[in-house]
Amino acid sequence: MPPSVLRSFRFAGRLLAAAAAVAGLSALFLALVIATDGRGSGLAAWSATVGVAVFAALWRGRRRSWRGRLVPFLPVFVAAALTLSVCVPTVPTTRRYPPALSLVATEHWRLSTGSRVAVYHYPPTGNGPRHSVPLVYLNGGPVRGISLLDHHFLQLLAGQGYDVYAYEQAGGGRSDLLPMDQYTITRSVQDLGALVGTFGQGVDVLGFSAGAVVLTRALADPAIAAHLHRAVIAEPGPVDGPTARIAGDKGRPSARGIAPAMTGPRSTHVPRYAVAFGLMRLGLLSPDNGLAGQAEGDNAFTAADLGSDTASGYCARDAHRIPVEDTANNFSFSAAASLRIQQTVKDSPSIAPQLRRSRTPAMLMIAECSSQVRQWETTVLADNPAIQRTQYMPGVGHHMWNGLGDNDQRAVAAITAFLQGKPAPLPDYPTRADIPAFLHDSK
């Protein structure tokens, strides 16, 4: 073999060995981040990794010349630089709240639970009659700011004569953060109870997605349900542990996987947040980990980080015309707090016995192209005898009011007809008797 070829093989071998060393040290660092739960912004894991790497490099070079002793340190320097990037924040570590909205004033209410939440009030407008019962909106998330798309929908409801209030749950949007261990589904329900209790009269509540979960659990609590006049449960997720463990079919195909990728900056393109959010999502880091704190994570997370989750809220036929739901300035999502609340839902016992005693008139809304497991929705229908009608909304995905075509107007019509006790614009479907066929037909 010619000497030049032999030298090339030796160089390639050394390069592969160096790359393997870097990969091995990076893997050790990640293992230590998990073992220490990211303590000290990851510096505890980084220091231990560098210490092991330096010792190994000194051991390998102990019988070499002083120049030869430097060679084993090259992968150490590379690995140290790569892993150190996971330990260095690139956004403020104290919460930076979204700026004020131009279309509605932000009020802050201190609830009896201790939560301080951002509240938005849309007084009744339009030429029609004014409705005496206030309407409270609970957005999805959980622990997510109310999008501009939802704010525009709330304006439509106010245009029908409703006195509309919306609030961002603790930790979301412009609401104050809570200590991580206080984010529980029970606290979310208690906050709703505290807020509706301030009105001194019955209120109507519209809960969407995760907000529908909070509302459903509130209906199972007689003390809170006493303050609820009527309830609209729109596209609920799993309401308790047994429901969360149900695996089943979803609605008609959504735009997930076929819509163009979301544009804009992603925190997950930054090593620190790719590691933090990725390990949290896998359950390998706790939501209250020491790698990236709650405030920093909230500041870092962007709409583009949601990826195909946004597309899953729309029908496949709308894949190439998905609207921009929010602006970068208004968008807010707490991944860590949301994961913690979802875990407390999974860990909770069945609420079916309490829900079966509910007497608050309720309506269930189901989207044709829903990304929710159908049994999550039909379980609520089966267990709550006070659900008086179901509206199966054709041509829409999970985000039923989305500004496309007449979707908003159809959602408003279904909601207001129920709140006013008027005939539904759509058939009452599925009823409890329809559930087996509804699930069998994969509608």
Rounded Cα distance between 428 and 381, Å, is: 12
What pLDDT, on the 0 to 100 scale, is given for residue 200? 83
Higher pLDDT, 131 or 248: 131
Contact of 422 with 131, CB cutoff 8 Å: no
Alpha helices in 282-401 (DSSP H): 294-300, 308-311, 335-346, 352-355, 374-383
- For the chain, domain boundaries: 3-84, 106-440
What pLDDT, on the 0 to 100 scale, is given for residue 61? 63
Over residues 28-36, mean pLDDT: 95
* Amino acid identity for residue 408 in this structure: D
Report residue 221 CA to chain centroid gap.
Answer: 24
pLDDT exceeds cutoff 90 at 55: no
Please state which CATH number belongs to domain 106-440. Answer: 3.40.50.1820
What pLDDT, on the 0 to 100 scale, is given for residue 57? 75
pLDDT exceeds cutoff 80 at 1: no
Higher pLDDT, 135 or 22: 135
Share of the chain above pLDDT 90, in %: 81
Over residues 287-305, mean pLDDT: 94
402-413: pLDDT as tens digits: 999 999 999 999
Over residues 69-83, mean pLDDT: 81
Angle between helix 271-281 and 3-36 (nearest 10)? 60
Taking each continuous run of H as one helix and of E as one strand, the counts in the chain are 17, 8
Average pLDDT of the chain to the nearest whole number: 92
75-78: Cβ within 8 A, 24+ apart: 75/18, 75/19, 75/21, 75/22, 75/25, 76/21, 76/25, 76/50, 78/18, 78/22
142-168: pLDDT as tens digits: 999 999 999 999 999 999 999 999 999
The model's confidence at residue 69, banded by pLDDT at 50, 70 and 90, is low
pLDDT exceeds cutoff 70 at 54: yes
Check: pTM over 0.75? Answer yes or no. Answer: yes
Residue (of 148, 213, 96, 171) closest to 335 by Cα position: 171
What pLDDT, on the 0 to 100 scale, is given for residue 442? 77
What pLDDT, on the 0 to 100 scale, is given for residue 126? 82
What pLDDT, on the 0 to 100 scale, is given for residue 370? 93
Least confident piece of the model among 34-43, 126-135, 182-191, 201-210? 126-135
Give one DSSP letter per residue of 68-88, joined into a string: HHHTTHHHHHHHHHHHHTTTS
Instruction: Name, in order, each residue with C-beta under 8 angstroms of 132's C-beta and a sequence gap of 6 or more.
Output: none
What pLDDT, on the 0 to 100 scale, is given for residue 67? 62
334-352: pLDDT as tens digits: 999 999 999 999 999 999 9
